[in-house]
């Protein structure tokens, strides 16, 4: 009860403060100072890259800024801004340091990355569900014996959720891992070929619903299958034998329905503190806003933090509530009003810290090239030194094309989104054919729903975008979120995979083609999409096009430092539907910014990634202080305090490890 009263009082205070701030912002210069405004914080004697112009080559560079009630109220030279300082104002002498708007990461699976903070033995996965230890595969008999032992530790009716240890995952082709790190492909082949059946699982786990998951498929026992089919008798993704009897093998829609409807839930208060720690880590990198996908379990945890004022960064989210949903149109029709609009008048339900920016019509349009999952126009070769898992072709010779696969209902979901006025965002894409299929579909839908071109439908990753894709996307108003990490990974990453498929020149031109996108007048942002991949490394790669060992891919796709900065600030604010409130350092906008350890505009190109945030501020509130900077400035020690040396920064040691693996 006390907490509820406190929240109400806080809300009333915010309304009064907003009214007063609105009055103050009507005044300028001496009028505001005459009204007695005393800034809460003033930063001065700096080099503030304001990003205050639509043209990245024409923004102003200020010395100082004043902050009141979470927003900038003055930006200019020292003398002008220091007049807003009073006895209670926190004044920070920047000593000539560079300041940038708070970084806005438009695709970051932050809920998953918090796993590294979990205490040892915690059985919660990145989806916010309870899981069991992975089962080591040696042979079938031993594998099933381990499952029997696990089942005996459970009460009747408790779920068993596990996967084979050593099974292939696409993340194993990170730079420097080498082909020997891709293990367990043969294990997955065994499971794919039916080495274990649902009847085997029934024998060792007769009293517990069970799901055994690998790659994009999985196997359930009869108890779990009965739960699913009782609720969804005709759900797509249930494999059946020649007589129409379900085998227990699941894919696509069936797996997602099982997970959403029947898996045990984790209370938000149990997982929220780990999410908070991960947000603090992002703030330490200069990030003040993240755009991510959230399923209802994630949203519950972040909402739990938000109502308690414990969000160190802002979060714009794409909802997964309709993703792989057996009742997609019925769900969409009941969500009208949560997100909508077009052009400059788009909205998403929420507040200034946590808000909705779109709907995910599916988890991804295809898979990753490292696993031969990207939907491509040319078949994957069976033999590849850098990508040995290609020999298995788990998803077929051309990868997984979910827009054509009957196990998924993505076409239906996109159509429902178009019909009910929604924006679709956070759609992973990888292969050239996947992008073709997506653009074909949007073009068709735009004939029936012309305002789609004003809704900023998005494509994320830019793993392979041709010049023709860019021209088509411009006509459809597509906004791109691009990951320079796909270039940085080099031979063992996306650019290397596409080099094997299409040749080096084409791969260099099509993987994260930032210059092509900008030259076609497209909205383009930069994202990280990998835990620990430093935002300033993304900026460096955008500028240099160098991979982990220094090789340049597609030099014609380089962008300037100023353009790259806009992709991570001003232009990213359009992706999260908040361009009127963030993305630049201007009066009336959120006081989100980072003080940098070196000058982003003048440091050598190959050292951009070594830039650190010394001070990160979100809405006028300090969310991170670098320890030495805080001590020197008399500021509190705030935020992330773990060892950050493992962050990817483009260091010589990273390059050494990558070369050693070749």
Encode pLDDT of 197-225 as tens digits.
999 999 999 999 999 988 778 999 999 99
Of 181 and 330, the structure prediction assigns the larger pLDDT to: 330
Question: Could you state, in order of their start, the residue ranges of all structural domains in the chain?
Answer: 130-262, 277-660
**Average pLDDT over every residue of 293-309:** 95
Q: For residue 140, what are the contacts with CB-CB under 8 A and spacing of at least 6?
A: 195, 196, 200
User: DSSP per residue over 359-410, as a string?
Assistant: E-SSSBSS--GGGT-S--SSPPPS--SS-GGGGT-TT-TT---TTT-TT--H
At residue 637, does pLDDT exceed 70? yes
d(C-alpha 354, C-alpha 169), whole Å: 31
pLDDT of residue 384: 94
Count the neighbouring beta carbons within 10 Å of the beta carbon of residue 617.
27
**Average pLDDT over every residue of 552-563:** 98
pLDDT of residue 264: 86
At residue 126, does pLDDT exceed 60? no
Q: Categorize the per-residue pLDDT at 112 as very low, low, confident or very high, splitting at 50, 70 and 90.
A: confident
pLDDT of residue 266: 84
Supply φ then ψ for residue 360, to 5 degrees: -90, 115
**Average pLDDT over every residue of 332-360:** 95
Q: Can you name the residues that pair with 345 across neighbouring β-strands?
A: 342
At residue 122, does pLDDT exceed 70? no
Of 426 and 17, the structure prediction assigns the larger pLDDT to: 426
d(C-alpha 477, C-alpha 194), whole Å: 45
At residue 172, does pLDDT exceed 80? no
Q: Categorize the per-residue pLDDT at 6 as very low, low, confident or very high, splitting at 50, 70 and 90.
A: very low
At residue 256, does pLDDT exceed 50? yes
At residue 97, does pLDDT exceed 90? yes
Using CA atoms, how far residue 366 sits from 15, 434, 459, 464, in Å, is 46, 6, 12, 12
**What is the model's pTM?**
0.91
Tens of pLDDT, residues 602-627: 999 999 999 999 999 999 999 999 99
Tell me the three-class secondary structure of 57-117, residue by residue. Answer: CCCCEECEEEEECCEEEEEECHHHHHCCCCCCCEEEECCCCEEEECEEECCCCHHHHHHHH
pLDDT of residue 27: 46
pLDDT of residue 72: 98
What is the chain's mean pLDDT, rounded? 90
Count the neighbouring beta carbons within 10 Å of the beta carbon of residue 503.
11
Paired tokens of 462: 């830019």
pLDDT of residue 280: 98
Count the neighbouring beta carbons within 10 Å of the beta carbon of residue 465.
26
> Which stretches of 462-517 are assigned E, i.e. beta strand?
479-482
Percent of the chain, pLDDT > 70? 90
At residue 119, does pLDDT exceed 70? yes
At residue 169, does pLDDT exceed 80? no
Tens of pLDDT, residues 501-539: 999 999 999 999 999 999 999 989 999 999 999 999 999
pLDDT of residue 5: 40
At residue 196, does pLDDT exceed 50? yes
In the chain, count H helices and then E strands.
24, 26
Q: Please, are residues 482 and 526 in contact by the beta-carbon 8 Å criterion?
A: yes
**Average pLDDT over every residue of 74-83:** 97
At residue 462, does pLDDT exceed 60? yes
Tens of pLDDT, residues 12-36: 544 445 444 454 444 444 445 545 6
Burial of 103 (0-12, 13-18, 19+ CB in 10 A): buried
CATH topology for 277-660?
TIM Barrel (3.20.20)
User: DSSP per residue over 11-37, as a string?
Assistant: HHHHHHHHHHHHHHHTS-HHHHHHTT-
Q: Please, are residues 613 and 623 in contact by the beta-carbon 8 Å criterion?
A: no
**Average pLDDT over every residue of 153-179:** 63
pLDDT of residue 25: 47
d(C-alpha 245, C-alpha 172), whole Å: 35
Question: Strands 354-359 and 613-618, how do they pair?
Answer: unpaired
Using CA atoms, how far residue 386 sits from 393, 431, 461, in Å, is 15, 18, 21
């Amino acid at each position: 009860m006390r907490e509820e009263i406190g929240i109400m009082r806080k809300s009333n205070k915010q309304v009064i403060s907003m009214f007063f701030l609105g009055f103050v912002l009507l005044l300028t210069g001496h009028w505001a100072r005459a009204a007695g405004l005393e800034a809460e914080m003033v930063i001065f004697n700096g080099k503030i890259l304001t990003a205050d112009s639509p043209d990245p080559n024409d923004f102003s560079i200020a010395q100082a800024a004043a902050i009141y009630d979470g927003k900038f109220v003055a930006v200019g030279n020292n003398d002008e801004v220091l007049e807003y300082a009073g006895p209670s104002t926190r004044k920070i002498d920047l000593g000539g340091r560079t300041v940038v708007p708070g970084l806005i990461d438009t695709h970051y699976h932050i809920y998953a990355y918090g796993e590294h903070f979990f205490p040892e033995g915690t059985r919660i996965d990145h989806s916010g569900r309870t899981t069991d230890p992975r089962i080591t595969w040696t042979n079938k008999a031993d594998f099933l014996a381990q499952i029997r032992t696990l089942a005996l530790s459970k009460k009747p009716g408790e779920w068993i959720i596990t996967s084979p240890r050593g099974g292939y995952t696409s993340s194993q082709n990170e730079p420097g891992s080498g082909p020997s790190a891709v293990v367990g492909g043969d294990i997955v082949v065994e499971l794919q070929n039916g080495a274990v059946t649902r009847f085997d699982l029934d024998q060792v786990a007769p009293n517990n619903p069970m799901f055994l998951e690998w790659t994009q498929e999985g196997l359930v026992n009869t108890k779990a299958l009965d739960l699913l089919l009782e609720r969804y008798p005709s759900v797509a993704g249930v494999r059946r034998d020649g007589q129409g009897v379900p085998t227990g093998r699941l894919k696509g829609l069936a797996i997602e329905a099982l997970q959403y409807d029947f898996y045990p839930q984790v209370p938000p208060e149990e997982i929220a503190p780990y999410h908070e720690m991960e947000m603090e880590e992002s703030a330490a990198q200069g990030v003040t806003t993240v755009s991510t996908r959230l399923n209802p379990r994630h949203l519950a945890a972040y909402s739990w933090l938000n109502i308690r004022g414990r969000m160190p960064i802002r979060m714009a989210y794409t909802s997964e509530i309709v993703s792989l949903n057996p009742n997609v149109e019925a769900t969409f029709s009941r969500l009208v009003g949560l997100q909508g609009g077009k052009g400059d008048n788009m909205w998403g339900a929420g507040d200034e810290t946590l808000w909705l920016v779109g709907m995910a019509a599916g988890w991804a349009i295809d898979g990753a090239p490292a696993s031969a999952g990207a939907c491509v126009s040319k078949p994957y070769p069976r033999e590849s030194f850098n990508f040995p898992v290609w020999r298995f072709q788990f998803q077929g010779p051309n990868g997984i094309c979910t827009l054509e696969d009957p196990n998924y209902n993505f076409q239906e979901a996109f159509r429902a989104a178009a019909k009910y006025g929604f924006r679709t965002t956070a759609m992973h894409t990888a292969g050239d054919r996947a992008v073709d299929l997506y653009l074909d579909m949007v073009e068709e839908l735009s004939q029936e729903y012309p305002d789609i071109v004003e809704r900023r439908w998005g494509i994320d990753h830019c793993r392979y975008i041709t010049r023709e894709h860019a021209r088509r996307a411009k006509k459809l108003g597509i906004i791109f979120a691009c990951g320079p990490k796909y270039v940085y990974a080099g031979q063992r990453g996306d650019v290397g995979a596409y080099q094997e498929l299409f040749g080096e020149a084409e791969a260099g031109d099509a993987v994260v083609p930032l210059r092509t996108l900008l030259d076609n007048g497209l909205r383009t942002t930069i994202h990280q999409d990998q835990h620990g991949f430093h935002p300033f490394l993304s900026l460096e790669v955008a500028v240099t096009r160098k991979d982990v060992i220094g090789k340049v891919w597609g030099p014609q796709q380089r962008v300037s430092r100023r353009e790259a900065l806009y992709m991570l600030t001003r232009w990213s604010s359009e992706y999260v539907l908040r361009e009127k409130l963030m993305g630049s350092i201007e009066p009336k906008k959120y006081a989100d910014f980072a003080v940098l350890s070196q000058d982003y505009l003048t440091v050598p190109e190959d050292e951009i990634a070594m830039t650190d945030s010394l001070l990160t501020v979100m809405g006028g509130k300090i969310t991170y202080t670098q320890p030495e900077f805080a001590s020197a400035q008399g500021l509190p020690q705030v935020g992330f305090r773990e060892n950050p040396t493992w962050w990817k920064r483009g260091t010589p040691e990273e390059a050494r490890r990558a070369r050693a693996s070749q």
